[in-house]
Structure 1
Amino acid sequence: MWSATGGRASIRQVTVALPRVWRTDALGCSLKNLLPASAAPEEGHIRITTSHPVFGDRPWTQQTQGCGRQGDFIQMGGDLLRAASNDSYAHSARLLLAEWAKFRWGVFDERGHANDPLYPPTFRDPNTHQFAATSCSDGVVKGDTCDPSQPGCTFSPQPYSNNHLSSSLLSFPELPTIRLFCNDKTHNRIAPTKHNAQCGGRSAWEIIQQTSDFVGGRNPVSNGSRGLEPILRFVQQANPRFVLVIEDTATMNLQVRFRYSLPRFHHCQTELHKTA
């Protein structure tokens, strides 16, 4: 994020809300803060779930507020976090950064999709009259193009032939050299992307700079001297605690009602443990 925003933003702290049913014996006290039972963790900006039927483990963002407005949430499969190498971590980081930009700053996809009449995978460039990838980049995206009106037309950038590209994260974050958003000089305003449709042809960086994080010169460029590694804070909602108050009076002792109450309370407590 720090590189993608020209040294103007980075994540300082991340709060990880653990499910209440998870055993956390292995976590040290310095890592975990138990919340009171009445104070459930806030709804997370990023939700870790099982694999999605459409997106799989790849992160995706629900956006209902329009251009330049914060989205609803990001969702991703847990297996994406189980990277096997540094390359895998870098790949996951770029995917998540692209979705964070959509969620936080209200930008949108700059790539097309197969069988999508609104945002096709390729389009006929009016300048060259040739089919080109639906994308935004600082150079020509190399890959096999096709006529989007034909069934099965799709586009995938060649993984080892696009090392000259550095943008855009909203187009092909899976490419290892991609690290920037398109700006007013590199933006492709004629490509039929969702970002162009939602944001009136303005570049992603133009939109990002007008958000509350950067407008008016907020968060100026830094050299990263304070450190870029975020602080991780783990929280978990505590299990509820119950207090049983027994009236110790002559009437209660005479009627011996507590003998009937205690077994019922014990049964209720056992059921709570089973469902927790």
Structure 2
Amino acid sequence: MALSNLFVVFLAFQALGKGRCSMVKLNNGGYEDIVIAINPAVPEDPKIIENVQNMVKDATSYLFHATKKRLYIRNVKILIPLSWSPNTNYIKSKTETYDKADVIIDTPHIYYGDDPYTLQYGRCGEPGRYIHFTPNFLLDDSLLSAYGDRGRVFVHEWAHFRWGVFDEYDSENPFYDSGFKVEATRCSADIIGYNYIPCTGLNCTPRPCNINYITGLLEDGCVFIPDKNQFATESIMYMQALSSVNKKKQN
């Protein structure tokens, strides 16, 4: 079976290229030549390499099932900084450079922090420029409770990067009037959950949200908290961390 043949190549690199042009190819349903590059500023940690491999292995399985067995990841190339310790498994990169990588592992962004993100300038359907993960995201397992399995996160970001799709939630307008009741902005509407005002502190208890009768929506500060037990299977672009979610929204 194709999923068992994921091939990883380790490349040592030094020079940065000019411009950004992905070398990814889609061959008979398998993505080839995905380049994942570690920024030279990232402190050496072999666990990063190990967790990148595990993330991609989990991602190819999730992608395969999410696309109804149409797509998977056939191989990736991991670019290792020359400043890291040498290894007999590493070979010298040829045309692969950090500036042309599809996925970069770099220090936290001043705005996003450790949040995984894809740099997208284009409209819907236009591919992104690169996916960004931080070392903390790859190393700190306590973050899994917030983001979900790393392989699922990879597929979520891959959809941004490769297919040019956008998130199916709206942080600026988290709720809307459906005509019958106030709904959380989400996809799909079959995802169940609760609307609460969050709070912090040992003696603090979240409370249900109240209706603002002027706007007809829920009061400011209200958040939708999905139930962990779901039957909804869509959508990867809303909340891939939910265990039941294994599909991209069909248009």
**TMscore range, shorter length:** 0.5 to 0.7
The offset of 1:40, in angstroms, is 4.5
1:139 is displaced (CA, Å) by 1.7
2:158 aligned with 1:96, yes or no? Answer: no
Partner Cα separation in structure 1 for residue 96 and residue 222 of structure 2: 50
C-alpha offsets along residues 88-133 of structure 1, whole Å, 9 cap, x if unaligned? 79611111211100110011000121xx1xxx1111113x2x1111
Structure 2: gaps of 5 or more residues: 1-62, 197-208
Which has the higher Rg, Structure 1 or Structure 2? Answer: 1
CA displacement at 1:83 relative to structure 2: 5.9
Spell out, residue by residue over 1:228-265, the C-alpha distance to the aligned partner (whole angstroms, 9 max, x if none). xxxxxxxxxxxxxxxxxxxxxxxxxxxxxxxxxxxxxx
Aligned to 2:76: 14
SS of the residue corresponding to residue 226 of structure 2 reads coil
1:175 pairs with 2:242: yes
Structure 1 letter corresponding to 2:136: D
Aligned ranges for residues 243-254 of structure 1 at < 5 Å? none
- Find the aligned partners of 1:39 and 1:5 in 2 and give their Cα distance: 28
| 1:77 aligned partner, one-letter code | T
Is 1:23–2:85 an aligned residue pair?
A: yes
> What SS class does the counterpart of residue 175 from structure 1 fall into?
coil
Matched, 1:121 2:182: no
> Taking structure 1 as reference, are residues 111 and 39 closer, same or farther at Cα in structure 2, changes over 3 Å only?
closer
The structure carrying a bigger strand percent of its residues is 2
Amino acid at match of 1:56: G
- Residue matched to 2:20: none
Unaligned runs of 5+ in 1: 184-202, 204-276
Rounded to whole Å, the distance in 2 between the matches of 1:108 and 1:182 is: 11
Q: Closer, same or farther in 2 for the Cα pair 1:125/1:138, shift >3 Å? A: closer
Letter in 1 for 2:188: S
How high is the TM-score relative to the length of structure 2? 0.59
Percent identity between matched residues is 28
Matches within 5 A, 1:1-276: 1-24=63-86, 27=87, 29=88, 31-35=89-93, 40-41=97-98, 43-82=100-139, 84=141, 91-113=149-171, 116=172, 120-126=173-179, 128=180, 130-137=181-188, 139-144=190-195, 150-158=219-227, 160-161=228-229, 163-183=230-250, 203=251
Cα distance between partner residues in 2 of 1:123 and 1:140: 15
Aligned letter for 2:69? G
SS across alignment from 1:3: helix
Q: Deviations over 1:123-168 (max 9, x none)?
A: 1113x2x11111112724322165667432332312x23x212110
Q: Taking structure 1 as reference, are residues 40 and 170 closer, same or farther at Cα in structure 2, changes over 3 Å only?
A: closer
Deviations 1:18-60 (A, max 9, x none): 1222122xx3x3x311136x97455211111123344332311
Distance 1:50-1:139 versus aligned 2 partners, 3 A rule = same
Q: Considering Cα pairs closer than 8 Å and 6+ residues apart, tell me whether 1 or 2 has the greater RCO.
A: 1
Whether the 8 Å contact between 1:133 and 1:141 is mirrored in structure 2 is no
